[in-house]
Amino acid sequence: MEIKRCSWVEGKEDIYLEYHDNQWATPVYDDKLLYEMLVLESFQAGLSWITILKKRENFKEAFDNFDVDKIISYDEEKIDELLQNEGIIRHKGKINAAIKNARIFKQIQDEYGSFSSYIWSFTDNEILIDTQENYQTQSDLSVQISKDLKKRGMSFVGPTIIYSYLESIGIINNHEHGCFRYK
């Protein structure tokens, strides 16, 4: 029997299917994965998600497996190394944002006990299910979180990036009604 998936992933490469089937819109509470997805979503701005998926392992290696404590201490030498790394997106603004955002991520962890507690507090730990299938790119929630993160000093966290982030970490479940992952 053929598995029915969201229409946007049908006919895509295996790496895309794997992401859709096993990660996208699955609730994430682990801070390391929450930071990883925030970095990947910010690097995706202006690019296709498949580009990021194909480079994901390279990003993990280049960014010390998304260890926030290591990333907050990156210096100019490390930034230059990242700018020379052909396995990742070599965008100085996004690299600098990943480092600055790691520092703020750590501050949020200290304030809330975990980044997970912070991000899930916006929905009182509830998963939001979009039943409209309208493929929106932002919402009141993503605008609210984006404003809060920007107020704290984060970059590359606009409402569209945050909306995609909320989908990727399972706060928003946008699987289509006919998809086997829709709940």
User: Is 41 tagged catalytic?
Assistant: yes
Single out the catalytic residue among 49, 112, 176, 182: 49
What is the token pair recorded at 71? 């990333």
120 is catalytic: no
List C-alpha distances in Å: 24 to 42, 78, 90. Answer: 16, 31, 25
Residue in 16, 41, 120, 165 annotated catalytic: 41
Active site residue 19: yes
* DSSP at 2: P
**Contact criterion met (CB below 8 Å) for 154 and 104:** yes
Q: Which of 16, 19, 24, 35 is catalytic?
A: 19
Helices marked H in 6-158? 14-22, 31-44, 49-62, 68-71, 76-84, 92-112, 115-121, 140-152
SS3 172: strand
Lookup result for tokens 């309208």 = 134
Residues annotated as catalytic (active site), given as ranges: 19, 41, 49
